[in-house]
Amino acid sequence: MKEAVSLKDIAKMCNVSVSTVSKALNDRSDVGREKKEEIQRIAKEMNYVPNFMASTLRSKRTRNIGVLLSESTRTNLMHEHFARILNSFKDAVEERGYFISFLNANLSPNRMSYMEQCKYMKFDGIFILCADYHSSEVKQLVTSNMPIVAIDHTLSKHINVASNQYGDMRRLMQLIYYRGHRKIAYIHGESNEVTGGRVNAYKTFMQEHGLPVPSEYLYTCPYRDYERGSALTKAVLALPNRPSCIVYPDDLTAVGGLNMMQESGMVIPRDISIAGYDGLNLVNIVRPRIATIRQDTVSMGIQAGNKLINRIEFPDATPVAETVIVDGMVEPGESLAVINVSKHHN
């Protein structure tokens, strides 16, 4: 078997240093264009295989990472939040010589299970962007020895990269409180780990500040359900003891509430204040701009990619389970009125 071509071989052929060859092959700007093209041409002619590919052949890794985005969660890549995380994850793993493939998540009776797909594709690891963790297929996957990183879900022996649901929600509540609001309703998402952290933060904050939480101030709405959010907004507005602010589970649902209010003749935030969650570009398009939490999706994707590859390449050097918390940022927008507290209580 012919010995693999090295950087040193290319350097000798081009009469340059090994470092210059490395820079040229990595398209660095500190190598002249003509010399860079010459080095790249000669490397191709010599059938040079990059180190990461050579190490792949030696280690029998495929450098292929499977991405699970379950259709059963009613979420897809059209949603900006998940698309941002995935794009950042993709950039991070590609920079380290890996590439991604999607697991087939449709409900066709002929498709292989997630675990069967992993074996067939010989994935080095799995990135779970969003999934139904009650599914038997997902349970089989997460109980395997496959290196896995999940977004916003704690797994007993894998990596969880999560937004700071509790801390971010408290910061949003603090802003609402500072603006003078004391009667705050919360239309929250369906029960899961993300919702649990946010609801806990809301209730704890209200309790710590001596604020009542009437049962009619809490409603459950599926995430990103525009129509359901609008219907629940009508229910809140019909309350005899109407709140001065409504917090929504996400920005899209908040826009649904905003549109319903505006269509009924209400002016936001003069008549009532609202806040969303996620930090989608949508909140900067509608008027007034909606107060929200902008989750740091770029950091989440980078952390997920690097943590997963470290687990793949150094399986004995990382803890069995690990959770990485990523803080978001409050964007005050224009949808929260500053109100007179004493007048509000009268």
Q: Tokens representing 85?
A: 């995380």
Check: CB of residue 186 under 8 Å from CB of residue 217.
Answer: yes
**Which of the residue ranges 50-54, 305-309, 340-344 has the most confident prediction, judged by mean pLDDT?**
305-309
Give me the pLDDT at residue 1, please. 44
Q: What is the average pLDDT across 154-183?
A: 96
**Domain match, 139 and 43 both:** no
Per the CB < 8 A criterion, the answer to whether 199 and 193 are in contact is: no
What's the total number of domains in the chain?
Answer: 3
- Measure the CA–CA gap between 68 and 202, rounded to whole angstroms: 31
Residue 272 CA to residue 251 CA, distance in Å, equals 17
Assess whether 32 and 70 both reside in one domain. no
Give me the chain's average pLDDT, please. Answer: 89
pLDDT at position 346 is: 43
The Cα 32–Cα 48 span in angstroms is 21
Identify the band that residue 318 occupies on the pLDDT scale cut at 50, 70 and 90. low
Out of 10-24, 128-142, 262-276, give the one with best mean pLDDT: 262-276
The single residue listed with the structure tokens 């993300």 is 194
Which pLDDT does position 5 carry in this prediction?
80
The domain containing residue 249 runs over which residues?
Answer: 165-295+330-345
pLDDT tens, residue by residue, 120-154 = 999 999 999 989 898 899 999 999 989 999 999 99
- C-alpha 111: how far from chain center: 27
**Alpha carbons 258 and 69: distance in angstroms, whole number:** 30
Residues 147 and 191 in one domain: no
**pLDDT for the residue numbered 60:** 65
Q: Judge whether 58 lies within some domain.
A: no
d(CA 175, CA 69): 34
Q: Do 121 and 182 fall within a single domain?
A: no
Q: How many angstroms separate the CA atoms of 310 and 211, rounded?
A: 46
Using DSSP bridges, classify how beta strands 292-294 and 329-331 pair: parallel, antiparallel or unpaired: antiparallel
Max Cα distance, the chain (Å)? 88
CB half-sphere exposure, 108, CA atoms < 13 A: 8
pLDDT attached to residue 216: 93
For residues 23 and 146, membership in a common domain is answered with no
The CATH number that applies at residue 289 is 3.40.50.2300
Q: Is 129 inside a domain boundary?
A: yes
Task: State residue 3's pLDDT score.
Answer: 66
What's the whole-number mean pLDDT along residues 249-263?
A: 95
> Does residue 266 share a domain with residue 187?
yes
In a domain, 318, yes or no: yes
Distances (CA, A) of 102 to 41, 160, 167, 238, 317: 33, 19, 32, 45, 28
Q: What is the pLDDT of residues 23-55, one digit of tens each?
A: 888 777 778 888 988 998 998 888 887 665 555
Domain-located, residue 260: yes
pLDDT mean over 304-314: 93
pLDDT of res. 74? 46
Provide the terminal-to-terminal Cα distance of the chain, rounded to the nearest Å.
88
Q: Is the pLDDT of residue 272 over 90?
A: yes
Task: Tell me what pLDDT residue 52 has.
Answer: 53
CA gap 9, 21 in Å, rounded: 10
- Collapse the DSSP code of 345 into the 3-class scheme (helix H, G, I; strand E, B; otherwise coil) and give the result: helix
Mean pLDDT of 150-160: 93
The number of CA neighbours under 13 Å toward the Cβ of 299 is: 13
Give the residue with greater pLDDT, 111 vs 209. 209
Beta-strand pair 184-188/245-247: parallel
Residues 158 and 186 in one domain: no
Same domain, 251 and 156: no
- Determine the Cα–Cα distance for residues 188 and 197; give it in Å rounded to an integer: 11
Question: Confidence class of residue 111 from pLDDT cuts 50, 70 and 90?
Answer: confident
Proportion of the chain above pLDDT 70, given as a percent: 91
Contact assessment for residue 100 and residue 67, using Cβ atoms and an 8 Å cutoff: yes
pLDDT at position 76 = 62
- Which backbone phi and psi does 290 adopt, to 5 degrees? -85, 130
Supply angle C-alpha 142, 144, 146, rounded to 5: 90
Q: 84 and 18 in one domain? A: no
Instruction: Give the pLDDT score at 182.
Output: 96
Which letter does DSSP use for residue 5 in this model? Answer: P
Residues 126 and 254 in one domain: no
The residues near 42 (Cβ < 8 Å, ≥ 6 apart) are 10, 13, 14
Q: Is the peptide bond before 288 cis (omega within 30 degrees of 0)?
A: yes
Q: Is the pLDDT of residue 312 over 70?
A: yes
CA proximity to 182, closest of 225, 238, 245, 228 = 245
pTM, full prediction: 0.79
Average pLDDT over residues 309-323: 84
Q: For position 170, what pLDDT does the model report?
A: 98
Helix pair angle (18-25, 33-45), 10° resolution: 90
Residue 322's beta-bridge partner residues?
A: 159
| Residue 59 resides in a domain | no
For residues 139 and 241, membership in a common domain is answered with no
Q: Does residue 208 belong to any structural domain of this protein?
A: yes
What pLDDT, on the 0 to 100 scale, is given for residue 289? 96
- pLDDT of residue 189 exceeding 60, the answer is yes
Element containing residue 44 per DSSP (H, E): helix 33-45
Asked if the structure places residue 101 within a domain, the reply is yes
